[in-house]
Amino acid sequence: MTTTNQVAIEAVGLVKKYGSTTALAGVDLSVPTGTVLGVLGPNGAGKTTAVRILGTLLRPDSGQATVGGYDVVREAGKVRSIIGLTGQYASVDEDMSGRRNLIMIGRLLGYSRPQARAKADELLERFELVDAGDRTAKTYSGGMRRRLDLASSLVGNPSILYLDEPTTGLDPHARNGVWETVRNLVLDGTTVLLTTQYLEEADALADSIVVFDKGSVVANGRPAELKAQAGKQSLDVRPAEPAHLERVAAIVAESTGSRPNVDVVNTLVSVPVSDGSSMPVVVRRLDEAGIAVTELSLRLPSLDEVFLALTGHTAEEKQPDAVLEGASR
Amino acid sequence: MNTATLEPAAHLGHRSRPFAWVQQSLTLAWRNIVRIRQNPEALADVTFQPIIFLALFLFVFGGAIAGGGGWRGYLPQLLPGLLVQTVVFATMGTGVGLNDDFAKGVFDRFRSLPIARVSPLIGAVLGDAVRYSLSIVILMTSGFVLGFRFDNGVGNGLLGMLIVLLFALSMCWIWVWLGLVMKTAQGVQGIAFLVMFPLTFGSNIFVPTSTLPGFLQAFTKVSPITYLVDTERALMGGGALQKPLLITLAWMVGLVAVFAPLAIRAYRRRT
Ligand SMILES: Nc1ncnc2c1ncn2[C@@H]1O[C@H](COP(=O)(O)OP(=O)(O)OP(=O)(O)O)[C@@H](O)[C@H]1O
Ligand SMILES: [Mg+2]
């Protein structure tokens, strides 16, 4: 039997309650092998809870999940042998050096001493921790700890990797490094599930995104779909001459394929767009028409705006069709 | 064959190695020893504390307690008692350390690895056996410097050191259990002191039980500490051995029989 689109992670109806708090209220997920799923959601949405269940650290109250074909409850040991997990809070051993942390994990995984050392060296190199490798992790900065934690989860060459907010608290350079690492892992065939608060991050890395809110999946789709349907990104053009408003509106309409809003009072033409690809076209056309503009901008939606749009709290008036397919389960 | 099933990475020999858990436990014991080395101040309770206690009781209270014999006469009585107290106090560090590991998320890392579930627990206890041994060696060395000798033969003296170590390894399961069920390390420590002080000071460690008030004498008659101290004194200095040794061994079996299952159950619940 061959399936062309193998599923690495499959969850159906996951429920987890803490007392009266419902952390997960029936979550379904499906991640094809070799792809990246971004789990986006505000604080308390249930992202960490989902990761911990899929990482065998927590049992769901109901529902079930398979990872690499193994049940996360009944075959937890097998699941553990194919996953790597970097939790939201670094789980490094503070009283040991970074190198020893990695060697210990290698040894636990059955590497010989030299193998474990070689693997530790390789990972310290990859995460730019060589200089700090022999210091106790207690002396590491927050970002260094996160990198060590990430390195720890890669010792076993996992084929499925969970990253719970991997770049929170990292500086831009370190964040780019993590993104690079994720991309390389995916090139090697690793399946990645990452949670994030940053739409930008999900957009940069994920093949598909699910949005959690209050323990439920409120939206899912490819990044572009979500952003388009969030309907909050807009291309704004302000002509220098109010008389040019109509011509600008026509140019924008032609270039983007959508009908723009024309705000006569503020002399502003704005149109919802999914990305900035139409921007150069607009600029060229305006230039050809000899129209001067005082403002030309692409407003990115903030995560707040996206959440609000996707959870349908404020988007109704503007975009009644913003509710996504497969949403509100 | 389910094609969606992923095979574990090739180096993961844990499925073909039936005794992988032994190596994993040893690795985790090694971790605890490395931690001690990199964090020597955490070792104060098994290094400086016994030496200070020895000096304090010997030179400050020794004259008063031992009367005419002076501190030299008190040393053969005191050292086996202090040995018991030191090691019993050291056991609570095991619970505090475990609690700390859970609080800091280190166990989350272990639990996400394909290793035997009990390895971290066994590793913690084995690692602490090294700590206990260290405290025994340090205290005995200090005693020897001050003139203590195994009057009942070196073999019996060494046997005494071994028995006190085994007692510690039996007793530590109380603290392992408490360390797993309690919320904070401070809480574990609080309970530990509440139990340890009456247990060790309300005993024959420092004074003969005949000098204690009636209710305390009754308590010392059942306390395992009394019998362990008597065992140690008999092995290291001479005296009746059989009764205290048998009662001590019975207590060791009892402690393990009750608290090891409780600890393992608490551990399984948390992992
Ligand atoms: N151990 C726990 N005990 C009680 N409640 C918990 C526990 N863990 C999580 N919760 C609750 O479950 C809900 C979901 O928490 P979770 O940590 O999964 O959210 P999250 O999406 O990861 O949030 P964040 O972005 O802040 O990390 C929250 O309301 C939280 O208070
Ligand atoms: Mg979280």
- Please indicate, yes or no, if residue A171 is contained in any of the structural domains: yes
Domain match, A238 and A145 both: no
Give me the mean pLDDT over the B125-144 stretch: 92
Distance from CA of A298 to the nearest CA of B (A): 42
Ligand 1 atom closest to A42 (CA):
25
| Contact status, residue A39 vs residue A193, Cβ threshold 8 Å | yes
Domain match, A12 and A125 both: yes
Q: Say yes or no: B16 contacts chain A, CB-CB below 8 A.
A: no
| Contact status, residue A72 vs residue A228, Cβ threshold 8 Å | no
- Please indicate, yes or no, if residue A195 is contained in any of the structural domains: yes
Q: What is the pLDDT of residue B19?
A: 82
Contact B9 A104 (CB under 8 A): no
Q: Say yes or no: B31 contacts chain A, CB-CB below 8 A.
A: yes
- Please indicate, yes or no, if residue A324 is contained in any of the structural domains: no
- Please indicate, yes or no, if residue A326 is contained in any of the structural domains: no
Q: Which residues of B, range 91-130, sit inside 8 Å of A by Cβ?
A: 104-115, 119
Number of domains, chain A = 2
- Please indicate, yes or no, if residue A47 is contained in any of the structural domains: yes
Task: Report the CATH number at residue A243.
Answer: 3.30.70.100
Task: Tell me, in angstroms, the distance from the centre of ligand 2 to residue A84's CA.
Answer: 17
pLDDT tens digits, residue range A39-93? 988 888 999 999 999 999 999 999 999 999 999 999 999 999 999 999 888 889 8
Ligand nearest to the CA of A52: 1
Domain match, A83 and A57 both: yes
Nearest-CA neighbor of A35 among A165, A186, A157, A162?
A: A186
- Please indicate, yes or no, if residue A103 is contained in any of the structural domains: yes
Q: What is the pLDDT of residue A10?
A: 96
Find chain A residues with C-beta within 8 A of B9's C-beta. Answer: 81-82, 156-159
Domain match, A184 and A289 both: no
Nearest-CA neighbor of B96 among B196, B232, B8?
A: B196
For atom 25 of ligand 1, the residue with the nearest CA is A43
- For ligand 1, residues with CB inside 6 Å are A 18, 21, 23, 41, 43-49, 88
Please, which pLDDT band fits residue B231 given cuts at 50, 70 and 90? very high
- Please indicate, yes or no, if residue A306 is contained in any of the structural domains: no
Contact A108 B28 (CB under 8 A): yes
Q: What is the pLDDT of residue A324?
A: 38
For atom 5 of ligand 1, the residue with the nearest CA is A18
Contact B112 A85 (CB under 8 A): yes
Label residues A203-233 b or e (16+ Cβ within 10 Å = b). Answer: bbbbebbbbbbebbbbbbbebebbbbbbbbb
Please, which pLDDT band fits residue B194 given cuts at 50, 70 and 90? confident
Domain match, A88 and A220 both: yes
When CB atoms are compared, the residue of A2, A8, A108 closest to B113 is A108
* Residue to mutate, A15, A17, A18, ligand 1, most ligand atoms under 8 Å from C-beta: A18
What is the β-pairing status of strands A191-196 and A36-40? parallel
Q: What is the pLDDT of residue B13?
A: 45
Mean pLDDT, chain A cut into blocks of 10 residues (329 residues total)? 69 95 94 94 91 94 95 94 91 91 95 95 94 92 90 95 91 89 93 89 90 89 73 79 91 86 85 79 90 84 58 38 36
- Average pLDDT taken over every residue of chain B: 86
For atom 27 of ligand 1, the residue with the nearest CA is A43
Ligand 1 atom closest to A197 (CA):
25
Domain match, A186 and A272 both: no
ipTM value for the complex: 0.80
Q: What is the pLDDT of residue A262?
A: 85
Contact A95 B115 (CB under 8 A): no
Nearest-CA neighbor of B167 among B208, B136, B141, B138?
A: B136
Contact A81 B114 (CB under 8 A): yes
Distance from CA of B116 to the nearest CA of A (A): 9
In the predicted structure, residue B14 carries a pLDDT above the cut 50: no
* Residue to mutate, A24, A47, A193, A214, ligand 1, most ligand atoms under 8 Å from C-beta: A47
Domain match, A87 and A99 both: yes
Domain match, A177 and A276 both: no
Q: What is the pLDDT of residue A23?
A: 94
Nearest-CA neighbor of A23 among A65, A51, A57?
A: A51
Is residue B135 within a helix (H) or strand (E), and if so which, with residue range?
helix B119-145
Domain match, A154 and A22 both: yes
Distance from CA of A120 to the nearest CA of B (A): 15
Domain match, A166 and A238 both: no
Give me the mean pLDDT over the B29-42 stretch: 81
More confident residue, A321 or B79: B79
The domain boundary residue, chosen from A228, A255, A284: A228
- Please indicate, yes or no, if residue A49 is contained in any of the structural domains: yes
For atom 3 of ligand 1, the residue with the nearest CA is A18
| Contact status, residue B11 vs residue A115, Cβ threshold 8 Å | yes
Contact B14 A111 (CB under 8 A): no
Task: Tell me, in angstroms, the distance from the centre of ligand 2 to residue A45's CA.
Answer: 8
- Please give the Cα distance from B16 to A251 (Å, whole number): 69
Domain match, A261 and A239 both: yes
Task: Report the CATH number at residue A45.
Answer: 3.40.50.300
What's the Cα-to-Cα distance from B150 to each of A159, B4, B156, B228, rounded to whole Å?
Answer: 60, 67, 8, 17
More confident residue, B245 or B105: B245
Domain match, A134 and A177 both: yes
**Scanning every residue of chain B, which has its alpha carbon at the shortest distance from the alpha carbon of A54?**
B112
Task: Tell me, in angstroms, the distance from the centre of ligand 2 to residue A89's CA.
Answer: 9
Find chain B residues with C-beta within 8 A of A100's C-beta. Answer: 31, 34
Q: What is the pLDDT of residue A100?
A: 94
Domain interval for residue A74: 7-228
